Amino acid sequence: MGHRPKCLLQLSGKSLLERQLEALSQTQLAPLLVVLGHHAERIQQESALRYWGARVVLNPRPDDGHVSSLRAGLLALPLDLDAVMVVLADQPLIDAQAIDALIQAYVSRPVGTKMLQPTVQDLPGNPVVFSSEVATQILAEDGQMGARQWQKAHPDELYRWKTPDAHYRLDVDNEQDRQTVESLTGQTLLWPSDLSRSHTKQT
C-alpha cells in the first residue's frame, strides 16, 4: 500500500501484525514464525515480535512473491509438526476464535484430505491449514510450487470448508478494504506516525 508495510497499519491502537500474533498466541499453535521480505528492517522494530515470542524468518528473494515467502517459512519449521497454518498479516478481523474454528475443522476434515481452505459463499479465504506431508511435497518441487499450486495439482485432497464468517475473506489491499474494515468495526485503520503521509512529506 504505497510502498509501506501494511501489516503495521493500526486498528484500535494495535498493528495488524500484533493483532495476529496476539490471536495466535491464544491458541494451541506453536511455534510462531513471521516471514519478512520488503520493509523487514522497519517491521522488526515492532515490539510485538519480541513480546509474543515470534521467530523472524527473512525471505532472501521477496520480489519472487508469496510463494517464496511460504517456502522460506516452511524451510524454517521443525520437522515433527502435525500441521501448518499459513496466516496472512493483513487480515484485521481474524481472531483466536476464528483460528480455533479452523483447527477444529481441520481435525474433523474428510478422510483423505490434507489441506483445508475456508470458503465463504464458495469464494476462497484464509488462513489455510495443511499437513506436514503437504509441506514436504511443496518443498520437494521447484520454487514455483506453493499452496495454491498444490491445490491445483491435488484437487481431491483439498477440503473446502464452508463457513458464513466473512472475516476469512477480508484482507487489506487498498483503500476500499480500509473502508470496509471501518464500516465493520467503527474504527479507522491508521498508519504509525513515521509511516503517515504527513510525516513523509515533512521529512
Q: Is the predicted pLDDT of residue 196 greater than 90, yes or no?
A: no
Cβ neighbour number for residue 69 with a 10 Å cutoff: 20
Which of helix, strand or coil describes residue 81? coil
Beta bridge partners of 119: 124, 162
Residue 201 has pLDDT above 50, yes or no: no
Helix (H) or strand (E) holding 21, with range, is helix 16-25
pTM for this one?
Answer: 0.91
CA–CA distance, 158 with 142 (Å, rounded to integer): 21
Whether residue 202 has pLDDT greater than 70 = no
Residue 45: how many CA atoms within 13 Å on its side-chain side? 7
Q: What pLDDT does 1 receive?
A: 64
- Cis ω for the linkage preceding 60 (within 30 of 0): no
Q: Give CA–CA dist 18/89, Å, rounded.
A: 9
Residue-level pLDDT at 178: 86
Lowest mean pLDDT among 81-85, 116-120, 149-153, 184-188: 184-188
165, amino acid identity: D
Fold observed for domain 6-181: Spore Coat Polysaccharide Biosynthesis Protein SpsA; Chain A (3.90.550)
Structural contact between residues 18 and 46, judged by C-beta atoms closer than 8 angstroms:
yes
Backbone angles phi, psi at 122, to 5 degrees: 65, 10
Q: Where are the domains of the chain?
A: 6-181
| Average pLDDT of the residues of the chain | 92
Q: Which one-letter DSSP state was computed for residue 181?
A: H
Angle at CA of residue 163, ends 24 and 35, nearest 5°: 30
